[in-house]
Structure 1
Amino acid sequence: MAYPFIFEENFELGTKGDFGTEADTGSLLDFPHYSALAAIPGMALPFRGAYCMRIDCGDTNDHTLFEEDLNIADTATAWVRFYLYIHPDFAATADDIFNIFEWQSTSNVVEACISLQITAATDLVDIGIADGTEVSSGFTNISKGVWHLVEALFTVDVAAGSDGVLTLHVDTTQFQTVTGHNQSLAITHGVLGTQNTESTTTGVLLFDQFVFDDLQVYGFQRRFPETILCTKSQHIFVGNGRINNVTLLSGDTTVDNQVKIYDTDTADTNDASHIVAELRNTAVKEIVDPAGMPVRVTRGAYVQIIGTPEDGGPRALIQIGAAQAPQALNFIFQADMFVVKIINLAVQVVLSHVSSVMPLFCLCLLIWWLVH
């Protein structure tokens, strides 16, 4: 498997990142910071890092990211991997089936797709795959309120042999396989996001850690590991914490690969004074370790990887010491909101009492003025 992958996006810049084109009529797609998500009751934090992709459903427009690097030639096989979160309040007043990922060929022909189905009577959500525009059968239930690992394999067959294969895995379990089909053309691009939703389908979907590669990528065994391999710039944690060590794994042919670690939770690399560690190689295939470890950060740890992507690197291997738990950050934001509500309530009580005694106070003031 190549490092970096054929395509990878973690949304850690708070943007669409390396995705090519964004379609978002109605502005329901964005890339929120973890602090914005933590302020919403019942909302998850990004699966990893400080940002993720969010779609707040509620209209019939497409809210998608388009990428030409997600191409698959005839007879070739490729995998997609991403994490999906469905908010507990995701609901519909009419049954709805819509795509969240499409493999498309020339002229945007949908050759295969991953779909969600929501049933109005129960608000239960199902996921499935299909050779064509939308799934009509073979759905499996997917729960709300937790992050799910979604993986799909696609083997393309443009000839008449009917050898095309599409397989869906959810949380490491294979749920559905579609075999014996043909594609009209090879895959030229992929589309991530919601398409053809009903306006009566409402609620939030979160997407994170998208990868496309020619071999199965798999998910993360641990969401918050103590040792993390970075193949792309990212926040390895947010909040206060310690980095015990960092190692630069250089590429096979390129020198001057770089790894910089910034004390930030907003991917801000403009202020060089926030750099807490910096490494660079002077020879190919060089493994570089720093001096002066461990280092501490207060806002978060953003790992910036600079260099030409190729076999072997550049990558960064980070050993994380004690760090603030994301669950604690979520609790802090919720506690802050609770305190604000208590203060607002107290102010309202005071104001209501002031309004009731104000006429009496004014009368007493008038009498005092007349007497004096």
Structure 2
Amino acid sequence: MLCSWHQRVVLCLAALFVGAANAATTYTLPDGTLPSGCTNASSTSVTCTGNITLASNDVVKVSNANLTWTVNGTLKFSSGNTINTSSTVSGFAINAKDVGAPNALQLFGNLTATNDMAIKSNANSITGNLVAGGRIDLGGSLTGTLQAGGVVTTQYATQVTGNISAGTSFTSGGGSTYGGNVTAGGDITSGSGDKFSGDVTSTSGAIKFSSSGNTVVGNVSARNAVLLQSGTKVAGSVTSSNDAVTLEPSGTTVGNGISAKKDVTLGSGCKVTGSVTSTNGNVDLKSSDASVSSCVTLDSNKKLNLGWNASVGGVCCLSGGAGGTCSATGCVVNNSGNAAPGACSAPVPAPLADYRFDEVAWSGSTGEVKDSSAGKVDGKAFGGATTALGKVCNAG
């Protein structure tokens, strides 16, 4: 159908209005065009009185590398926003009450939210540190650290180079890589195929590595139960200070021993290099081929259950606690089809203090000689006595 000339004019004008409505804006902080409601208090500070929503493809440039942009409300990013991408080495920081970015965001700078932060897109590219008083939901790539007072969740294939700290729980979406330590006050739950280059620690909760293919280069430590599902590989140690440790079949491995207050269970084909200690639980090696390379230590009133073809480097059925006596009888139920394990030595009690005597020069001031043990009983130089490396010390 042919249109009249005035219809064509109306259509053209409508197209122009739509184009104008969708046109991206470039803001320059602190001295150029600013978002509505924002003022530049100084050359290093821009403050916005209320909520700020950037339109799609809006660009924020920063002319002062040490600028702080404060939003006294919610800061919401839209699709295609780029923030400070022309100044990749800077002290640029953004502070807001809440932060939301449902679509891809490119940001160079530190981002802080008083409350919550939700930047979930897998296409995010952020260089800087993220801090929130509440929860953080993250996707994409973060070159920096992440710290939240509440929950931390990550989407599938998230990459974080630095340390992660969650005040409560941490949940990974799977297929993700974490270059630093991951610490949470509550439970830690991985997806499948996550890779952790540092330690994984829950100070008050449990840890669960979901199947399959998770790897941890560092140590795993929790107050409550630790569960390693099929194919999880931990190069370091695994510890539960108040509960049990379970390795599910198959192919699950631990590279530097296990310590638990309650039961330790190894499923079929699970392997532990190093020792296994349970202070108040049983140790079960299921059929078949579960193994511990070194000593298994448990209370003499508990049981070491060896399933078919299971093996251990030795056993200490411990009487009298740390520093007590070991035997290889009384706590072993051997259904392995192999000879019963022999006795290993009782564990040596932890030292009260550990002074290394490796400082080149000591002045004798209190606290200068460091106690390297957990007790932290620092010492001081005493009596003018000397050794080849310096003065001897006493706890003072």
Into which bin does the TM-score normalised by the smaller protein fall?
under 0.3
- Relative to the length of structure 1, the TM-score reads 0.26
- Relative to the length of structure 2, the TM-score reads 0.24
Structure with greater helix percent: 1
